[in-house]
Amino acid sequence: MRINEEKCIGCLVCTAYCNVDAILPTGDGKAKIDPDICVECWVCYRNDACPHEAIERTPLESFGDTFKHVISDPSETTAETGVPGRGTEESKTNDVTGRFQEHEVGIAIDMGRPGVGCYLYDVEKVAMAVAAAGVRFAGADSTPLAKLMIDPDTGKLQDDLLDLHVLSVIIEGKVEIDGLPPVLAAIREVEGQIDTVFSLGLVAQVDEAGNTPVLDMIEECGLDTPQRGKVNMGLGRPLYDG
Amino acid sequence: MTHSLHRCGDTAAEKDFVWLMYQSKGINDEEIAEKAREFIEVVEEVGSVNWGDVKSGPIVALSKEEVLDRIGDKSRLRGVFTSKEQVTDFLTRISEKDIGLSVVIAGRLDLILAACQKADVPPHTINFSLGVFGNTDRLPEYTVLEITTMCGHHMVPDGIVENLLSDVRRGRISARDAAEELAAFCPCGIFNQVRAEEVLRAASRTG
């Protein structure tokens, strides 16, 4: 995104529309958008933030610009996964896909969320920490971040993209249920090494009462018992049967 | 994506349940428009205060027919209920319809699981929310977060919430109108304007 200097009157109304504080006063009575901070979510553009139509879209010329727009604007569809939003079905279709089996626990680390945004160098730190603890990442056909990983075994991302700023991106993977404690320990350790936030979700198949051994492990690892959850009701067809 | 999972705030407890209709790529992702209409029939009978399609927008900004007319195979329908009774009613009806698409409900687990039992729809998989980690000093004030997390893709900017809250406090706009204005920012239709109105009204009294 950019601000057309000729149309801008410097009212700064647009600043409230920016999710990541990328719109700044120029010092000469105008506003500008810092392209390194802007995540191309297009919230300002879509919601007519400028009463003088000074906010304009810029061409998404590089892979990095395209990636950050597609991952930050949920109306876009990630080409490789075929899924809009942030490009992944995760547990929402597990009844049909069997992506997370009974003996596995899914790890969904929602980097930059809620509402802070994140640079990919912080994403890489967390990905490498959980990979070292045993997490196997989802592939590029099911999660957008995998496309940026030059080494899926370690979580290493492309060096030329580490300074890319996005609104949020999900690190997705899984481990055997018994392998969860070291992953949670790694998450607790690496959280102090990053300058952003992340929301953490753990995915498991459950019995009729909603129970799973994962809940006991969460408690044993010193974390609070989850109060909120996203429940797949098993109504998708055909039901995954292995 | 976990945008419906990590909502903040005590008021989320009993009046905020997100529903999702999901097809799976390469398995059951064809002829979605017809299935979506059947799905929405049930949603409307139960009474969802907001719903939409990320590809077009929410019913608080577009007419319901406009949203339905624009549905394609990449669409994802989502919305929000405001009571546990609605969740039970919805699960009962949608399981009887047997549309064949995945159905997901997000919210307070004890209430959802009780609804599952009443509707005789056992849960299959749960994504458990463990909360927020990292440099939490960077988070905005809690009231803002209560509202912005109702659009998990964060299409509702903090600054707009702060401006509207200020306007509610000064009597320039009602809490209801401010909540509906905020709901239009969330393209998926999972923003709960009923709950947002309560949050804004409570915050305007204490601010």
CA-based radius of gyration for chain B:
17
With vertex at residue B50, the alpha carbon angle to CA B47 and CA B52, rounded to the nearest 5 degrees, is 115
Give the residue from A156, A147, A162, A161 showing the smallest Cα distance to A128: A156
CB neighbour class for B60 (10 Å; exposed up to 12, middle 13-18, buried from 19): buried
Residues whose CB falls within 8 Å of the CB of residue B104, separated by 6 or more in sequence, listed in order:
A91, A92, A230, A231, A232, A233, B4, B19, B20, B22
Name the amino acid, one letter, at B180: E
pLDDT on residue A74 = 87
Instruction: Using pLDDT thresholds of 50, 70 and 90, give the confidence band for residue A87.
Output: low
- Please report the pLDDT score of residue A79 as a whole number: 67
> What's the start-to-end Cα distance of chain B, in Å?
34
DSSP conformational letter for B100: -
Report yes or no: A235 and B103 within 8 Å, Cβ to Cβ: yes
Percent of chain A with pLDDT over 90: 89
In terms of Cβ atoms closer than 10 Å to its own Cβ (0-12, 13-18, 19+), residue A158 is: middle
Q: B207 pLDDT band (50/70/90 cuts)? A: low
Residue A78: what pLDDT? 72
Q: Residue B186, by phi and psi: left (phi above 0), alpha (psi -120 to 50) or beta? A: beta
Structural contact between residues B189 and B164, judged by C-beta atoms closer than 8 angstroms: no
Per-residue model confidence as pLDDT tens digits over A211-237: 999 999 999 999 999 999 999 999 999
How near does any CA of chain A get to the CA of B137, in Å? Answer: 9
Give the pLDDT of residue B1.
Answer: 34
CA distance B113 to chain A (A): 7
DSSP code per residue over A153-211: TTTEEPGGGTT-EES-EEEEEEEEGGGHHHHHHHHHHHGGG-SSEEEEEEEEE--TTS-
- Given the cut 0.90, state whether the ipTM is greater than it: yes
Is A53 within 8 Å of A7 (Cβ atoms)? yes
CA–CA separation, B163 vs B155, rounded Å?
A: 15
Alpha helices in A25-160 (DSSP H): 43-46, 63-72, 94-97, 120-132
Q: Is A202 on the interface with B (CB under 8 A)?
A: yes
pLDDT-derived band at A85, boundaries 50, 70, 90 = low
Residues within 8 A of B (CB atoms), A 12-51 only: 15-19, 41, 43, 47
- Choose between A171 and A90: higher pLDDT: A171
> pTM for the complete prediction?
0.95
Closest approach of B35 to chain A, Cα-based (Å): 12
What confidence score (pLDDT) does residue B5 get? Answer: 78
Which residue of B14, B80, B133 to mutate against A (max A Cβ within 10 Å)? B133
pLDDT tens, residue by residue, B11-27:
667 899 999 999 998 99
Query: pLDDT tens digits, residue range A134-149?
Result: 999 998 888 889 999 9
